[in-house]
A and B are shown apart, each in its own frame.
Chain A
Amino acid sequence: MKAKKILIAILPLVVFAILVMVFKSSLNKDPRELETKLVGSPVPSFKLASVTNPEVILTNDDLPKEIFLLNVWGTWCVSCYAEHPYLMKFAKEVPIKWVGMNYKDAPKDAINYLNKYGDPFVYSISDVSGQMGIDLGVYGAPETFIVDANGMIRDRHVGVIDERVWNSVIIPKLKAIGWEQN
């Protein structure tokens, strides 16, 4: 009987401890980071012009046949300016291809941007209307999709990729799907 009383007395404490743990785990999560339903499905089909060569029409067949990164950017996107130097650095130092997706931008502005700050992309897809962005579930540029050799989306990162994110988030995720840094 006494044991039962002690148990009942402890119960609120246990409930409190569980709640603390639940709330604690949420503290470290960014509520703006949303899941994507696209993990495990192919890059949505597109047929859009290249930013730098407007006469070239790009489709899914033009995507690299290896693990690559698809970066959504725009000249209207303030954070993209912060991210750009990192992209230049990674593109130079790390043997992985970056495909750009220029989201809701004027091609003229996009070309100026690449001329001024450098072009880390093998090519940039020009999504002037924003339809491809919607098909990708883009809600906050910059966003980076990890795509495998079969054109399947394996992961997504929303927000700026800097040195820290690159080493602690992107590289481990790339390695997890079999990418090797030579």
Chain B
Amino acid sequence: MRLIYFLALWLASVTVLASENYQFDSPEQEQAYREISSQLRCPKCQNQSIADSDAELSEDLRFIVYQKLKAGDSKQEILDYMQKRYGDFVLYDPPVSPKNYVLWFMPIIVFIIIIASLVKKVGRRELQPEDEVK
């Protein structure tokens, strides 16, 4: 019974995702559409890409992606268009900026500190002869 229930839910979700029927000029264009819409975050429902989201805003944004691809815009042009309007937030791969320096550089800094302190410790130990006696 439970299985049937889940199956029904799954089927329902499949039909929702298939509700838009865009016609693409080429398989590459369709591929680009899928790529771009999964790299854009829905501003309304924050943990979904616009490809996953059923929000009306996502639907509109997907339509813009589709229109722009049809008009010959490149992937970067479309991402820039969205970023200009919705900020870095809309990109799942946001650019490196002072706001996220900590995320980018903290691991490297911590790594250097650990290596430096290890080198210092090990180096000191080697200089102490009593270690060898033991």
Residues in A lying within 8 Å of B, measured CB to CB: 31-32, 34-38, 104, 130, 134-137, 139-140
Smallest distance from the beta carbon of B101 to chain A beta carbons, Å? 14
- Contacting residues, chain B, for A134 (C-beta < 8 A): 60-61, 64, 85
Interface of chain A: mostly helix, strand, loop or mixed: loop
- Separation of A140 and B55 alpha carbons in the complex (Å): 11
Smallest distance from the beta carbon of B93 to chain A beta carbons, Å? 17
A37 with B84, Cβ < 8 A, contacts A139-B44, A140-B44 known: yes
User: Is B111 in the interface zone, CB < 8 Å from A?
Assistant: no
User: Is B83 in the interface zone, CB < 8 Å from A?
Assistant: yes
Contact between chains at B85 and A130 (CB < 8 Å) = no
- Contacting residues, chain A, for B86 (C-beta < 8 A): 34, 37, 137, 139
Q: Among B56, B57, B89, which residue has its beta carbon within 8 angstroms of that of A35?
A: B89
Smallest distance from the beta carbon of A14 to chain B beta carbons, Å? 15
Give 24 pairs: A residue, B residue, CB < 8 Å, sorted on A.
Answer: A34-B43, A34-B87, A35-B87, A35-B88, A37-B83, A37-B84, A37-B85, A37-B86, A37-B87, A38-B85, A104-B56, A130-B60, A134-B60, A134-B61, A134-B64, A134-B85, A135-B85, A136-B85, A137-B43, A137-B87, A139-B43, A139-B57, A139-B86, A140-B43
Interface of chain B: mostly helix, strand, loop or mixed: helix
- Separation of A131 and B43 alpha carbons in the complex (Å): 16
- Separation of A130 and B60 alpha carbons in the complex (Å): 8
Q: Report the number of A-B residue pairs with Cβ-Cβ less than 8 Å.
A: 34
Which residues of B, 52-99, contact A by the 8 Å Cβ criterion? 56-57, 60-61, 64, 83-89
User: Is B46 in the interface zone, CB < 8 Å from A?
Assistant: yes
- Contacting residues, chain A, for B57 (C-beta < 8 A): 139
- Separation of A136 and B57 alpha carbons in the complex (Å): 13
Which residues of B, 36-53, contact A by the 8 Å Cβ criterion? 43-44, 46
Smallest distance from the beta carbon of B61 to chain A beta carbons, Å? 7
- Separation of A137 and B44 alpha carbons in the complex (Å): 11
